[in-house]
Structure 1
C-alpha cells in the first residue's frame, strides 16, 4: 500500500512540475531578452577636491562589472556609457580636502534621474548605484 501511495504521489508531483514549468516559458523569454538588452546611462559628478571617480563602464558582467577610474577629473564630470541587461549603473566619486571636500553624483536614464547622492567633509565619498532600468 505504501508503495502505491508513493508511486501516485511521485506521478502527481511530476505532472505538477511539468505543468508549472510550461508556464515559465514566457518568464524565461522575458529574462533572456532583459539580460541581452543594452541601455545607456549618463553619470555626472560635481563638487570640490574630487580625487577619483570609479564607474561601471560596461563590458563586465552583472556580478563582476568592469570598473574604470578617472584620477583628478575636471569638474563637472560627465560620461555616458552603454550597459547590458541587469548590470547596475554605478559611479563612485571620492573627494579629499582638509578645508572641506564636497562631492555629488547623479545617474540619468532617458532624461530621468534614477539615483542621486551628495556628501561633504574632510574626506567625502559617495556612491550612486542604481538598479538596472531593464530589470526594474
Structure 2
C-alpha cells in the first residue's frame, strides 16, 4: 500500500508541476509580449501661445521614457510616434504667457482617444498622459 501511495503521490506531484510550469510559461509569454510589442499614438496640440511641447518619443525604458521637446511649435501641432510595451504615452504643452494661452492636448491610438485635456495658462502641471493599450486587448 505504501508503494502504491508513493507512486500516486509522485504522479500527482509531476502533474501539478507540469500544470504549474505551463501556467508560468504562459505568464512569461504575456510579460514578454507586453514588453516587446509596439503601438503607435498620435499626439495633437491645438490652441494659442504655446512655447514648447514635450512628448514621450519611444526611447528609454518602459517606466522612464525619453522625452523630446519642440520649442516654439506651429499650432495646430501633430506627431505620430511608436512606443513599446507598457510605456505610457505623454504630451505636455507649456505656455509661459499665463494670460493668453488656451491649449488642448489629445493622444489617440487607432482612432480611440486615450487622453484629452484642455487648460488655460501654464499647462505643465497636466498635459495628457495615456496608458499603454498593450495587454489591454
TM-score by length of 2: 0.79
RMSD: 1.8
Cα distance between partner residues in 2 of 1:98 and 1:26 = 51
Q: Which residue of 2 aligns with 1:93?
A: 93
Cα distance between partner residues in 1 of 2:135 and 2:105 = 22
Task: After TM superposition, give the deviation of residue 96 of structure 1 in Å.
Answer: 2.6
Matched, 1:47 2:70: no
Cα distance between partner residues in 2 of 1:34 and 1:109 = 16
Query: Quick check: 2:98–2:120 contact (8 Å CA) kept in 1?
Result: no
Mark the runs of 5 or more structure 2 residues left unpaired by the alignment: 1-12
Aligned 1:1-136 pairs, distance under 5 A: 21-22=20-21, 23-121=23-121, 123-125=122-124, 126-136=126-136
Task: After TM superposition, give the deviation of residue 101 of structure 1 in Å.
Answer: 1.2
Query: Quick check: 2:53–2:91 contact (8 Å CA) kept in 1?
Result: yes
TM-score by length of 1: 0.80
Task: After TM superposition, give the deviation of residue 33 of structure 1 in Å.
Answer: 1.1
Task: After TM superposition, give the deviation of residue 127 of structure 1 in Å.
Answer: 1.2
Give the number of equivalent residue pairs: 120
Mark the runs of 5 or more structure 1 residues left unpaired by the alignment: 1-14
Q: Which runs of 4+ in 1 moved over 6 A?
A: none
Local SS of the residue matching 2:73: coil
